[in-house]
Structure 1
Amino acid sequence: MLSYTRRAAMTVVALLILIAGVRASWASAQHVMLAKGRERGTMTVTRCTDDTCTGPYAPLSPGSQPRDRVVIDRSIAEKKGARIPVVVKPGTGEVVRTGAAGFFHAWVPLGGALLLAAVVIAGGLRLTRWAWVTAATGVALLSVAFATLTW
């Protein structure tokens, strides 16, 4: 009985980790994946802190207005003067990177969740093959995100 309880508990923990990863990723990914009808344009990076970068926004889509200052989460690729294709989060001054780099960058939290879930699957559920597949998927997602951001 204790074995079944442990397996059930570890299954719930692994699922919660994966759900949290999807939910954290979806906060940004929805704007990249469902960009039709949203304000699209380019942002020129003028200043970066440890967490964010700011700069002016130049619209590309009809009905979008230029803005003096928008904010984007900082990733490894933003440098002063860089022009980044972005989409504006509705009702805010925040933008999200678009294209392949934006898509994979938005799913980075899921990549981390896959790696963490792999540990739970291997150690708690003792399903080593599934753990390796889960970990490989997480590593692949993080690697592609890194590659597309630095390309």
Structure 2
Amino acid sequence: MKRTVLVRHARRTAMAVVALLLVVAGAWSSWGSAQHVLLSKGREHGTLTVTGCTDETCSGRYVPADAGSKRTTATMERSVAVSKGQTLTVVVKPGTDEALRTGWGGGLHAWVPLGGALLLASLVIGGGLRMTRTAWSSAALGGALLLGTFFAL
């Protein structure tokens, strides 16, 4: 009898650790970009006119909002929402020439890995932990984040 209780608790603990690991990894992955978009005060702002894209990045002419910047070009991660000739308001990551979209679209786009992690964690929460309400809440939050990003971009 005690052995089955121990196995049950070990299974629940393992599933909780996996779900927590998924959410923490998604948040950690998102924070790398989100911190520059959400905490953009004091960072370099401007507009990026996309002139060309490769398989992974898009680059173009950068016009800084502050006249003190000497930067004339910048690159950004390629996504389906970026096309040649498009002009985007961006913030530049310090120490690089990598630009990130600002505003609602950029803020939501930065949190996309967290949305995916919440969707994956909802499967573990519902199936492994048998916590259906929490699983549905996690799935709804992750889905809302992904849908919001889709419509904002």
Structure 1 length-normalised TM: 0.95
Q: Which of these residues, 43, 48, 51, is aligned with residue 48 of structure 2?
A: 43
Aligned length: 148
Give the letter for the 1:70 counterpart: A
Match of 1:140 in 2: 144
1:128 aligns with 2:95: no
Larger Cα Rg: Structure 1 or Structure 2?
A: 2
Percent identical: 58
Alpha-carbon offset, residue 93 of structure 1: 1.0
Give the letter for the 1:20 counterpart: A
| Whole-Å separation in 1 of the counterparts to 2:67 and 2:147 | 35
> 1:108–1:141: 8 Å Cα contact kept in structure 2?
yes
| Whole-Å separation in 1 of the counterparts to 2:130 and 2:109 | 31
Alpha-carbon offset, residue 49 of structure 1: 1.9
Match of 1:81 in 2: 85
- Aligned-residue RMSD, C-alpha: 1.0
Give the letter for the 2:75 counterpart: V
Alpha-carbon offset, residue 32 of structure 1: 0.4
| Whole-Å separation in 2 of the counterparts to 1:116 and 1:87 | 30
Q: Deviations over 1:82-119 (max 9, x none)?
A: 00100010010111100110000000000000000001
Alpha-carbon offset, residue 71 of structure 1: 1.0
| Whole-Å separation in 1 of the counterparts to 2:152 and 2:34 | 15
Indicate the SS of the match to 1:45: strand
Alpha-carbon offset, residue 18 of structure 1: 0.3
> 1:111–1:138: 8 Å Cα contact kept in structure 2?
yes
Counterparts in 2 of 1:1-151, with a 5 A limit?
1-67=6-72, 69-149=73-153
State the 4+ residue runs in structure 1 displaced beyond 2 angstroms: 61-66
Alpha-carbon offset, residue 46 of structure 1: 0.6
> 1:40–1:64: 8 Å Cα contact kept in structure 2?
no
Give the letter for the 1:126 counterpart: R
| Whole-Å separation in 2 of the counterparts to 1:30 and 1:61 | 21
Provide structure 1 residue ranges, at least 5 long, that are not aligned to the other structure. Answer: none
